[in-house]
Chain A
């Protein structure tokens, strides 16, 4: 998880002291000193999140407001997501694309009003993302929120826990956002996350981050969860890790993210690289990200070659490991289009040996998002 920025001093989040007090093992990640795991370990943290509620410090991620006239139409020139179709307070997962339709970053966009969006982007990409947005949309106002922490509370009891502090959050549908006031502090609450569970992301001012985290942790059902379990949780949910499963060389169609592009935007284009993306939609992408279930017990990691039954290399693993909820190894990776159908039998080459696997549909573990009653 090292990120190569070891020559720079690591940044810390407002929750650093709490992580250390909780016994976290800290590692450098995207230029930040972050908790990879706590004393319970990754397996226990993962399973706790699936059973109860996990609290994640994701303050290293980038948060910003983008505002101005026609912000929705203007922002749609950078992403293939349908922002115009969002209701006020609705959230969309989308991607910033380059001129070849390659993915610069993936992100969450909230439509706060007709002239204001809230963006949450990956930590490792945030500086270049914000520079790209500011350069491409000079007529709009980009306010980077560098004095707010971001917490994620994820798991089947997340709504029960958070509603004790913030009555009403339990009624929010998944992928919607709303502001709440707690102890005089304005919180931006999104019912969203990246674990496959129901849950929330909570943007809180730096100065109140520690006390708010402590009020969540006062509930016995809530435990700190580190980056290690965050990775295994998102892998089971079939979600991409930027820089591994998607990057500037992959289009959203190759990345199996076509679900994040509406019918209108597929037809009308109007985003960077639209011609290539539309070509991938109409005639098919040359390769595709697929889920891989291994038949045996040995995990295959990022970088493992994927071979067909004749031994020919047809792709490569981009994320892989042991799935704690399934008690077996899973992976995702890119294979050429001829080998991407569910059920295709493939071998993942680990330490020179072929490990039998087959293509499966995402997610590996059913998602449990709250769609409203």
Chain B
């Protein structure tokens, strides 16, 4: 059973057990436009909640992808390094960025659930 939580910076984290899959939301990829480059961290890197975990660049600009919660990077999606367009085509599926082993699951409570995120997004646009 998985549960997905969202940040105000438009990252998602899909939690299964102790591991969360992190990516950017459909709203975020639409705002960015065509993604042409991603920079992913090394597996094993520890990231603090809110710290830069990856970089995503569209034709227009570079943006940071922040860690929604603290954890250790246990896997990265190297497919999006070769095919950055996957982030646009399937942000919540094949366009994921990294998997985090979550240090403190209590931090998830600070994030939005899907309903809260959807209403947050409607207030952004």
Contact = CB atoms under 8 A, between A and B. Distances in A.
Given A297-B37, A299-B37, A228 B57 contact: no
Residue among B36, B37, B81 having the largest count of chain A Cβ atoms under 10 Å: B36
B59 A298 contact: no
Interface string B3-26: 000000000000000000000000
Interface in A276-316: 297-299, 301
A41 B34 contact: yes
Contact of B36 (A44, A299, A351): A299
A227 B81 CA distance: 27
Contacts of B62: 299, 301
Contacts of A322: 36-37, 57, 59
Contacts of A321: 59-60
A42 B57 contact: no
Contacts of B33: 37, 41-42, 228
A28 interface: no
Contacts of B58: 42
Nearest to B34: A43
B113 interface: no
Contacts of A37: 33
B55 interface: yes
A42 B60 contact: yes
Contacts of A301: 61-62
B75 interface: no
A193 interface: no
B72 interface: no
Interface in A172-208: none
B59 A43 contact: yes
Interface in A29-75: 36-37, 41-44, 46
A232 interface: yes
B55 A351 contact: yes
The contact size tier of chain A is 10 to 19
Contacts of A46: 59
A21 to B, nearest CB: 19
A298 B34 contact: no
A298 B57 contact: yes
Given A41-B34, A42-B34, A299 B57 contact: yes
Contacts of A299: 36-37, 57, 62
A238 interface: no
Interface in A320-340: 321-322, 324, 329
Contact of A329 (B37, B39, B55, B61): B37
Interface in B46-92: 55, 57-62, 81
B118 to A, nearest CB: 21
Contacts of A351: 39, 55
Interface string B26-52: 000000011011010000000000000
B85 to A, nearest CB: 8
A36 to B, nearest CB: 8
A29 to B, nearest CB: 13
A114 B103 CA distance: 77
A46 B55 CA distance: 24
Interface in A346-367: 351
A33 B33 CA distance: 19
Nearest to A350: B62
A305 to B, nearest CB: 15
A373 to B, nearest CB: 36
Nearest to A298: B37
Nearest to B81: A297
Contacts of B57: 298-299, 322
B37 A42 contact: no
A223 to B, nearest CB: 16
Nearest to A42: B59
B39 A298 contact: yes
A311 to B, nearest CB: 21
A37 B58 CA distance: 13
Contacts of A228: 33, 59-60
A72 to B, nearest CB: 41
Contacts of B55: 351
Given A228-B59, A301-B62, A322-B59, 8 more contacts: A42-B33, A42-B60, A43-B59, A44-B34, A228-B33, A228-B60, A299-B62, A321-B60
Interface of A: 36-37, 41-44, 46, 228, 232, 297-299, 301, 321-322, 324, 329, 351
5 contacts: A42-B58, A46-B59, A297-B37, A298-B39, A299-B36
Closest 3 pairs (CB-CB, A-B):
A322-B36, A43-B34, A42-B59
